Amino acid sequence: MSNLILYLQLFLLALIFGLVFTKALILFGNKYFSNQKENLTRFGGVAIIISFLLSIFLSSDLVFDSLKWGIIVSALVILFFGIYDDLKNVSWKKQLIGQILVVLIVIYAGLQVDYIANPLGGAEFRLDILNGQIFGFSFSVFGSLFILFWIVGLMNAMNWLDGLDGLSGGVGFIGAMTMFFLSISVLVNQPPLGILAIIFAGSILGFLVFNFSPAKIFMGTSGSMFLGFMLAVLAIFSGGKIATVFLVLGFPILDTVFVIISRIKNGNSPFQGDTSHFHYRLLDAGWSQKKVVLFIYSICLAFGFSALVFGSVGKVIAFFVLFSIMLGINYFLVLEKK
Protein backbone atom coordinates (compact mmCIF):
# COMPACT_ATOMS: atom_id res chain seq x y z
CA MET A 1 0.00 0.00 0.00
CA SER A 2 2.84 2.40 0.86
CA ASN A 3 4.35 1.83 -2.58
CA LEU A 4 1.04 2.58 -4.25
CA ILE A 5 0.75 5.84 -2.30
CA LEU A 6 4.31 6.73 -3.34
CA TYR A 7 3.50 6.06 -6.99
CA LEU A 8 0.32 8.13 -6.75
CA GLN A 9 2.18 11.03 -5.15
CA LEU A 10 4.85 11.00 -7.84
CA PHE A 11 2.22 10.76 -10.57
CA LEU A 12 0.35 13.76 -9.17
CA LEU A 13 3.60 15.70 -8.74
CA ALA A 14 4.59 15.13 -12.38
CA LEU A 15 1.01 15.85 -13.50
CA ILE A 16 0.94 19.18 -11.68
CA PHE A 17 4.33 20.14 -13.07
CA GLY A 18 3.11 19.16 -16.53
CA LEU A 19 -0.05 21.25 -16.21
CA VAL A 20 1.77 24.31 -14.87
CA PHE A 21 4.66 24.29 -17.33
CA THR A 22 2.44 23.52 -20.32
CA LYS A 23 0.07 26.36 -19.45
CA ALA A 24 3.01 28.71 -18.98
CA LEU A 25 4.42 27.69 -22.36
CA ILE A 26 1.06 28.31 -24.03
CA LEU A 27 0.94 31.83 -22.65
CA PHE A 28 4.60 32.52 -23.38
CA GLY A 29 4.71 30.70 -26.71
CA ASN A 30 1.60 32.29 -28.17
CA LYS A 31 3.08 35.70 -27.36
CA TYR A 32 6.64 35.23 -28.59
CA PHE A 33 7.03 32.01 -30.61
CA SER A 34 3.59 31.30 -32.05
CA ASN A 35 3.00 29.62 -35.38
CA GLN A 36 1.82 32.48 -37.56
CA LYS A 37 -0.78 30.36 -39.31
CA GLU A 38 -2.43 28.72 -36.33
CA ASN A 39 -1.13 30.80 -33.40
CA LEU A 40 0.03 27.67 -31.60
CA THR A 41 3.36 26.98 -29.95
CA ARG A 42 5.35 23.85 -30.74
CA PHE A 43 7.36 23.68 -27.52
CA GLY A 44 5.11 21.37 -25.50
CA GLY A 45 7.90 18.82 -25.28
CA VAL A 46 9.80 21.27 -23.10
CA ALA A 47 7.08 20.99 -20.46
CA ILE A 48 7.10 17.18 -20.62
CA ILE A 49 10.86 16.88 -20.25
CA ILE A 50 11.25 19.52 -17.53
CA SER A 51 8.34 18.05 -15.56
CA PHE A 52 9.90 14.60 -15.82
CA LEU A 53 13.36 15.76 -14.73
CA LEU A 54 12.11 17.88 -11.82
CA SER A 55 9.93 15.04 -10.56
CA ILE A 56 12.68 12.43 -10.58
CA PHE A 57 15.05 14.82 -8.81
CA LEU A 58 12.40 15.33 -6.12
CA SER A 59 11.92 11.59 -5.67
CA SER A 60 13.94 10.54 -2.62
CA ASP A 61 13.28 6.87 -3.40
CA LEU A 62 15.22 6.91 -6.66
CA VAL A 63 18.94 6.08 -6.62
CA PHE A 64 20.85 7.95 -9.30
CA ASP A 65 23.28 5.47 -10.81
CA SER A 66 25.24 6.03 -14.04
CA LEU A 67 22.41 4.76 -16.21
CA LYS A 68 19.86 7.17 -14.77
CA TRP A 69 22.31 10.01 -15.20
CA GLY A 70 22.67 8.85 -18.80
CA ILE A 71 18.90 9.19 -19.24
CA ILE A 72 19.01 12.69 -17.75
CA VAL A 73 21.82 13.82 -20.05
CA SER A 74 20.06 12.26 -23.05
CA ALA A 75 16.81 14.01 -22.11
CA LEU A 76 18.62 17.35 -22.03
CA VAL A 77 20.18 16.69 -25.43
CA ILE A 78 16.74 15.83 -26.84
CA LEU A 79 15.33 18.98 -25.23
CA PHE A 80 17.80 21.43 -26.75
CA PHE A 81 18.11 19.63 -30.09
CA GLY A 82 14.31 19.46 -30.38
CA ILE A 83 13.94 23.17 -29.71
CA TYR A 84 16.59 23.90 -32.32
CA ASP A 85 14.83 21.67 -34.84
CA ASP A 86 11.45 23.31 -34.24
CA LEU A 87 13.03 26.73 -34.77
CA LYS A 88 15.31 25.90 -37.70
CA ASN A 89 13.68 22.78 -39.22
CA VAL A 90 16.93 20.82 -39.62
CA SER A 91 17.41 18.10 -42.22
CA TRP A 92 16.68 14.44 -41.49
CA LYS A 93 20.41 13.72 -41.63
CA LYS A 94 21.10 16.12 -38.76
CA GLN A 95 18.13 14.69 -36.87
CA LEU A 96 19.60 11.22 -37.28
CA ILE A 97 23.00 12.39 -36.00
CA GLY A 98 21.31 13.87 -32.91
CA GLN A 99 19.41 10.63 -32.29
CA ILE A 100 22.57 8.54 -32.60
CA LEU A 101 24.31 10.84 -30.10
CA VAL A 102 21.48 10.28 -27.62
CA VAL A 103 21.80 6.50 -27.99
CA LEU A 104 25.58 6.58 -27.58
CA ILE A 105 25.15 8.49 -24.30
CA VAL A 106 22.94 5.82 -22.71
CA ILE A 107 25.12 3.00 -24.04
CA TYR A 108 28.16 4.66 -22.50
CA ALA A 109 26.16 5.08 -19.28
CA GLY A 110 25.64 1.32 -19.10
CA LEU A 111 22.53 0.43 -21.12
CA GLN A 112 23.01 -3.00 -22.65
CA VAL A 113 21.14 -5.93 -24.14
CA ASP A 114 22.94 -9.26 -23.92
CA TYR A 115 20.27 -11.41 -25.52
CA ILE A 116 16.76 -11.45 -26.96
CA ALA A 117 14.41 -14.14 -25.67
CA ASN A 118 12.98 -16.59 -28.14
CA PRO A 119 9.17 -16.03 -28.00
CA LEU A 120 8.58 -19.59 -29.16
CA GLY A 121 10.81 -21.09 -26.49
CA GLY A 122 14.23 -22.61 -26.78
CA ALA A 123 17.60 -20.91 -26.75
CA GLU A 124 17.67 -17.13 -26.70
CA PHE A 125 19.38 -15.07 -29.38
CA ARG A 126 22.72 -14.01 -27.91
CA LEU A 127 23.95 -10.51 -28.74
CA ASP A 128 27.09 -10.54 -26.60
CA ILE A 129 29.14 -12.91 -28.76
CA LEU A 130 31.29 -10.12 -30.18
CA ASN A 131 32.78 -7.37 -28.02
CA GLY A 132 34.62 -4.21 -29.01
CA GLN A 133 36.59 -1.52 -27.26
CA ILE A 134 37.02 2.18 -28.03
CA PHE A 135 39.22 4.43 -25.85
CA GLY A 136 39.07 1.87 -23.06
CA PHE A 137 35.26 1.55 -23.20
CA SER A 138 34.12 -2.05 -23.76
CA PHE A 139 30.82 -2.79 -25.44
CA SER A 140 28.85 -5.54 -27.12
CA VAL A 141 28.84 -4.92 -30.87
CA PHE A 142 25.55 -6.62 -31.73
CA GLY A 143 23.90 -5.55 -28.47
CA SER A 144 24.83 -1.91 -29.09
CA LEU A 145 23.62 -2.07 -32.69
CA PHE A 146 20.31 -3.51 -31.49
CA ILE A 147 19.94 -0.69 -28.95
CA LEU A 148 20.77 1.86 -31.65
CA PHE A 149 18.13 0.60 -34.09
CA TRP A 150 15.54 0.05 -31.33
CA ILE A 151 15.79 3.54 -29.81
CA VAL A 152 16.21 5.44 -33.08
CA GLY A 153 13.33 3.45 -34.57
CA LEU A 154 10.94 4.31 -31.72
CA MET A 155 12.02 7.96 -31.66
CA ASN A 156 11.14 8.29 -35.33
CA ALA A 157 7.93 6.25 -35.01
CA MET A 158 6.63 8.58 -32.28
CA ASN A 159 7.85 11.64 -34.17
CA TRP A 160 6.00 10.60 -37.33
CA LEU A 161 2.90 9.73 -35.28
CA ASP A 162 2.70 13.32 -34.05
CA GLY A 163 0.38 14.48 -36.80
CA LEU A 164 -3.00 14.84 -35.08
CA ASP A 165 -4.04 16.57 -31.86
CA GLY A 166 -3.42 14.29 -28.89
CA LEU A 167 -2.31 11.29 -30.94
CA SER A 168 1.37 10.89 -30.07
CA GLY A 169 0.88 12.10 -26.49
CA GLY A 170 -2.03 9.73 -25.85
CA VAL A 171 -0.21 6.73 -27.29
CA GLY A 172 2.86 7.69 -25.25
CA PHE A 173 0.74 7.89 -22.08
CA ILE A 174 -0.74 4.44 -22.76
CA GLY A 175 2.76 3.09 -23.29
CA ALA A 176 4.05 4.68 -20.09
CA MET A 177 1.18 3.28 -18.01
CA THR A 178 1.68 -0.15 -19.54
CA MET A 179 5.35 -0.04 -18.54
CA PHE A 180 4.30 1.04 -15.03
CA PHE A 181 1.92 -1.89 -14.55
CA LEU A 182 4.58 -4.20 -15.96
CA SER A 183 7.18 -2.86 -13.51
CA ILE A 184 5.01 -3.50 -10.43
CA SER A 185 3.95 -6.95 -11.60
CA VAL A 186 5.31 -10.08 -9.96
CA LEU A 187 7.08 -10.94 -13.21
CA VAL A 188 9.30 -7.83 -13.19
CA ASN A 189 8.95 -6.26 -9.71
CA GLN A 190 11.25 -3.28 -10.30
CA PRO A 191 10.20 -0.29 -8.14
CA PRO A 192 12.81 2.07 -9.71
CA LEU A 193 11.36 1.31 -13.13
CA GLY A 194 7.88 1.93 -11.73
CA ILE A 195 8.96 5.34 -10.42
CA LEU A 196 10.40 6.37 -13.80
CA ALA A 197 7.34 5.07 -15.68
CA ILE A 198 4.71 6.71 -13.45
CA ILE A 199 6.55 10.06 -13.45
CA PHE A 200 6.84 9.79 -17.22
CA ALA A 201 3.10 9.11 -17.48
CA GLY A 202 2.19 12.06 -15.24
CA SER A 203 4.40 14.43 -17.23
CA ILE A 204 2.74 13.37 -20.48
CA LEU A 205 -0.80 13.67 -19.10
CA GLY A 206 -0.15 17.22 -17.86
CA PHE A 207 0.69 18.16 -21.44
CA LEU A 208 -2.04 16.03 -23.04
CA VAL A 209 -4.77 17.98 -21.23
CA PHE A 210 -3.91 20.94 -23.47
CA ASN A 211 -2.96 18.91 -26.54
CA PHE A 212 -6.14 16.92 -27.10
CA SER A 213 -8.35 18.23 -29.91
CA PRO A 214 -8.66 21.15 -30.31
CA ALA A 215 -4.99 21.50 -29.31
CA LYS A 216 -3.69 24.62 -27.62
CA ILE A 217 -0.10 23.42 -27.90
CA PHE A 218 1.98 20.86 -29.81
CA MET A 219 4.80 18.74 -28.37
CA GLY A 220 7.21 19.41 -31.23
CA THR A 221 10.34 17.42 -32.01
CA SER A 222 11.63 17.42 -28.43
CA GLY A 223 8.41 15.93 -27.09
CA SER A 224 7.80 13.22 -29.68
CA MET A 225 11.43 12.09 -29.68
CA PHE A 226 11.55 12.07 -25.88
CA LEU A 227 8.45 9.85 -25.80
CA GLY A 228 10.02 7.37 -28.19
CA PHE A 229 13.34 7.47 -26.36
CA MET A 230 11.85 6.85 -22.91
CA LEU A 231 9.57 4.03 -24.02
CA ALA A 232 12.49 2.32 -25.77
CA VAL A 233 14.77 2.67 -22.74
CA LEU A 234 12.10 1.58 -20.23
CA ALA A 235 11.53 -1.56 -22.30
CA ILE A 236 15.21 -2.46 -21.95
CA PHE A 237 15.22 -1.45 -18.27
CA SER A 238 12.41 -3.91 -17.55
CA GLY A 239 14.59 -6.89 -18.30
CA GLY A 240 14.27 -6.64 -22.05
CA LYS A 241 10.45 -6.67 -22.18
CA ILE A 242 10.70 -5.25 -25.66
CA ALA A 243 7.77 -7.32 -26.94
CA THR A 244 5.49 -5.46 -24.51
CA VAL A 245 6.36 -2.03 -25.89
CA PHE A 246 6.35 -3.45 -29.40
CA LEU A 247 2.71 -4.48 -28.95
CA VAL A 248 1.63 -1.22 -27.30
CA LEU A 249 3.28 0.79 -30.05
CA GLY A 250 2.52 -1.78 -32.72
CA PHE A 251 0.29 0.62 -34.65
CA PRO A 252 2.84 3.44 -35.05
CA ILE A 253 5.70 0.97 -35.56
CA LEU A 254 3.92 -0.94 -38.33
CA ASP A 255 2.65 2.34 -39.77
CA THR A 256 6.27 3.53 -39.98
CA VAL A 257 7.32 0.29 -41.70
CA PHE A 258 4.42 0.46 -44.19
CA VAL A 259 5.12 4.11 -44.98
CA ILE A 260 8.84 3.52 -45.54
CA ILE A 261 8.09 0.60 -47.87
CA SER A 262 5.52 2.70 -49.74
CA ARG A 263 7.91 5.62 -50.17
CA ILE A 264 10.73 3.41 -51.43
CA LYS A 265 8.32 1.61 -53.79
CA ASN A 266 7.24 4.97 -55.23
CA GLY A 267 10.85 6.10 -55.66
CA ASN A 268 10.74 8.65 -52.84
CA SER A 269 13.07 9.12 -49.91
CA PRO A 270 11.91 7.11 -46.86
CA PHE A 271 12.64 10.20 -44.74
CA GLN A 272 10.66 12.64 -46.86
CA GLY A 273 7.48 13.61 -45.02
CA ASP A 274 4.10 13.07 -46.67
CA THR A 275 0.49 12.20 -45.84
CA SER A 276 0.76 8.44 -46.42
CA HIS A 277 0.49 7.62 -42.70
CA PHE A 278 -2.63 5.75 -41.63
CA HIS A 279 -3.95 8.61 -39.50
CA TYR A 280 -3.83 11.03 -42.43
CA ARG A 281 -5.40 8.48 -44.77
CA LEU A 282 -8.23 7.85 -42.29
CA LEU A 283 -8.86 11.61 -42.28
CA ASP A 284 -8.99 11.57 -46.08
CA ALA A 285 -11.52 8.72 -45.85
CA GLY A 286 -13.87 11.06 -43.97
CA TRP A 287 -13.12 10.23 -40.35
CA SER A 288 -13.05 13.09 -37.88
CA GLN A 289 -9.78 13.88 -36.13
CA LYS A 290 -11.14 12.77 -32.74
CA LYS A 291 -12.48 9.53 -34.21
CA VAL A 292 -9.09 8.68 -35.69
CA VAL A 293 -7.27 9.44 -32.45
CA LEU A 294 -9.70 7.46 -30.28
CA PHE A 295 -9.58 4.54 -32.72
CA ILE A 296 -5.77 4.36 -32.48
CA TYR A 297 -5.99 4.77 -28.69
CA SER A 298 -8.31 1.76 -28.51
CA ILE A 299 -5.91 -0.38 -30.56
CA CYS A 300 -2.95 0.58 -28.37
CA LEU A 301 -4.96 -0.05 -25.18
CA ALA A 302 -6.17 -3.45 -26.38
CA PHE A 303 -2.74 -4.67 -27.37
CA GLY A 304 -1.11 -3.06 -24.34
CA PHE A 305 -3.45 -5.09 -22.15
CA SER A 306 -2.70 -8.23 -24.13
CA ALA A 307 1.03 -7.60 -23.65
CA LEU A 308 0.52 -7.57 -19.87
CA VAL A 309 -1.61 -10.70 -19.59
CA PHE A 310 -0.33 -12.97 -22.37
CA GLY A 311 2.78 -15.11 -22.34
CA SER A 312 5.38 -15.20 -25.08
CA VAL A 313 3.33 -17.30 -27.50
CA GLY A 314 0.25 -15.14 -26.83
CA LYS A 315 2.24 -12.01 -27.67
CA VAL A 316 3.34 -13.53 -30.97
CA ILE A 317 -0.29 -14.34 -31.81
CA ALA A 318 -1.37 -10.84 -30.75
CA PHE A 319 1.26 -9.32 -33.01
CA PHE A 320 -0.03 -11.24 -36.03
CA VAL A 321 -3.59 -10.17 -35.14
CA LEU A 322 -2.41 -6.56 -35.04
CA PHE A 323 -0.59 -7.01 -38.34
CA SER A 324 -3.77 -8.42 -39.87
CA ILE A 325 -5.78 -5.46 -38.57
CA MET A 326 -3.28 -3.05 -40.13
CA LEU A 327 -3.50 -4.89 -43.46
CA GLY A 328 -7.30 -4.77 -43.21
CA ILE A 329 -7.23 -1.02 -42.58
CA ASN A 330 -4.90 -0.57 -45.53
CA TYR A 331 -7.23 -2.59 -47.77
CA PHE A 332 -10.20 -0.52 -46.58
CA LEU A 333 -8.38 2.72 -47.31
CA VAL A 334 -7.38 1.55 -50.78
CA LEU A 335 -11.02 0.72 -51.57
CA GLU A 336 -12.17 4.06 -50.16
CA LYS A 337 -9.69 5.89 -52.39
CA LYS A 338 -11.09 4.15 -55.47
- Domain boundaries in the chain? 2-240
Q: Work out whether strand 131-134 and strand 137-140 pair parallel, antiparallel, or are unpaired.
A: antiparallel
Quote the pLDDT of residue 44.
Answer: 92
CA angle 10–58–183, rounded 5-degree value: 45
Q: What is the largest CA-CA distance in the chain?
A: 60
- Going by the DSSP 8-state scheme, the letter that residue 132 receives in this structure is E
CA dihedral for 83, 88, 94, 96, sign (positive or negative): positive
Quote the pLDDT of residue 120.
Answer: 63
How buried is 90 (Cβ within 10 angstroms: 0-12 exposed, 13-18 middle, 19+ buried)? middle
CA pair distance 334, 301, nearest whole angstrom: 26
Quote the pLDDT of residue 37.
Answer: 47
Quote the pLDDT of residue 41.
Answer: 79
Quote the pLDDT of residue 155.
Answer: 95
- Going by the DSSP 8-state scheme, the letter that residue 186 receives in this structure is T
**Claim: this prediction has a pTM higher than 0.85:** yes
- Going by the DSSP 8-state scheme, the letter that residue 207 receives in this structure is H
* Residue ranges of the chain with per-residue pLDDT less than 50: 36-37
Start-to-end CA span in the chain (Å)? 57
**DSSP secondary structure letters along 296-307:** HHHHHHHHHHHH
CA pair distance 162, 303, nearest whole angstrom: 20
Quote the pLDDT of residue 285.
Answer: 83
Quote the pLDDT of residue 126.
Answer: 82
Quote the pLDDT of residue 333.
Answer: 75
